[in-house]
Amino acid sequence: MCRLSAITSSTYFSPMENILALETMKEGHDGSGLGLVMKDLGGPFEDLKSYPILSGTCSNKGLDMLDDYMQQAGFRIKYNWEPKIKRTAGMEIEPRDHYFARAYQYPSPYEPKAQVEWERLLLETRMDLRRMGEKDNSLFVFSFYPDCLTLKEVGDPLQLSEFFGLDDLSLQAKVILAQGRQNTNYAIYLYACHPFFIQGYCTMTNGENTAFVPIREYLTSREFSGYTGYNSDSEVFAHILHFAHRQLKYPLTYYKDIITPLKDEEILDRPDGKALSLLKKSLRPLCIDGPNMVIGFVPDGTIFMLQDSKKLRPGVVGGAAGKYALMSEMCGLDRAVPQRDRPADIFPSKYDMVMVTPNAQEVHVWNQLHG
């Protein structure tokens, strides 16, 4: 089962904290990969908040392709971050030619435009690059969005942190989601690695998604170009979140109502029961119906955890104002936030959605039964 480690803090911290937490939870992942999504960036990106950052990895050929494309599209590089790759004996990592996170300046006509417009531009650009690179795996792009950075690679997370030089602590953020991959039924492929990001929304998941095919069919038929990929059955969780919150403009908690719907008799007792019963029928194909735990964030920086009733072992949320961690295992939480009020740790029940407000100010448990 994949191990998940999310931390949110009011001050900048290094992804090493997530990775060390993953290391303590190592029994559950086989070191087949690491995925990192950082939001609200510090370090070199602190003063670049309004510039979209393209994250990915590529071969030399892919780099040429990328540069050509971006130049033609009118994007100009504002800042280019490449990790200083360190290789030590015993490392089982196949390095690629380039890893990058580049802040770009928008093509000039876009700068003053509305958010939906630049969001569409960034998404279409990422999709184009993805399609171009997918043919020969010369280019992988994971996210293209302001103030967000993604790193993904195959290998052991701790080794990868050294490989990427994350241990120099220069790269920092206020919200970081990290996944230690347990490779199951999918080939180790970078696009199959969580967390998945789309237009400011991000999730990572553990457990297998039994309803994957109908959900994928539903999403791909929404006529939204970003709903594609699905090399992992977990990618749908990010897209459902995006669909519910951004496209349908439902308040965040309805994400839980969609993917883990209440029974009809429970809906009757909800103050918004009438709306909920319509929504349950209408979004019936998006019910995940599998033993999954989901951790994710939305554009305002709220970070959450929830799970399906079939999830055998809950995740855990703990911390104090200013820093909270959302982990798949207790030992990960102990590592990330050792100093905390342990009895206040939260193990979400099947009805709970645990949400930490932006800047790690407070934690709320929203109970689906009461709405």
CB contact at 8 A, 4 and 174: no
What is the binding site for other proteins (CB under 8 A)? 1, 182, 184, 206-214, 217-218, 221-223, 248-251, 253-254, 260-261, 263-264, 271-272, 274-276, 278-279, 281-285, 287, 289-291, 308-310, 312, 371
Rg of the chain, C-alpha, whole Å: 20
d(CA 351, CA 150): 31
State whether residue 355 is helix, strand or coil: strand
Tell the smallest beta-carbon distance from residue 49 to other proteins (Å): 28
Nearer residue to other proteins within complex by CB, 87 or 274: 274
Nearer residue to other proteins within complex by CB, 71 or 282: 282
Nearest to 8 by CA among 175, 207, 158: 175
Nearer residue to other proteins within complex by CB, 102 or 280: 280
Tell the smallest beta-carbon distance from residue 176 to other proteins (Å): 24
Tell the smallest beta-carbon distance from residue 368 to other proteins (Å): 13
CB contact at 8 A, 154 and 93: yes
Tell the smallest beta-carbon distance from residue 355 to other proteins (Å): 11
Nearer residue to other proteins within complex by CB, 217 or 269: 217
Tell the smallest beta-carbon distance from residue 360 to other proteins (Å): 20
d(CA 294, CA 284): 19
CB contact at 8 A, 352 and 365: yes
Tell the smallest beta-carbon distance from residue 206 to other proteins (Å): 8
Nearer residue to other proteins within complex by CB, 199 or 206: 206
Nearer residue to other proteins within complex by CB, 7 or 240: 240
Enumerate residues 6+ apart whose C-beta is below 8 A from 41.
48, 49, 53, 147, 148, 149, 172, 173
Q: Specify the pairing of strand 139-146 against strand 76-81.
A: unpaired
Per DSSP, the residues of 51-111 read SEEEEEEE-HHHHHHHHHHHHHHT-EEEEEE-------TT------SEEEEEEEEPPGGGT
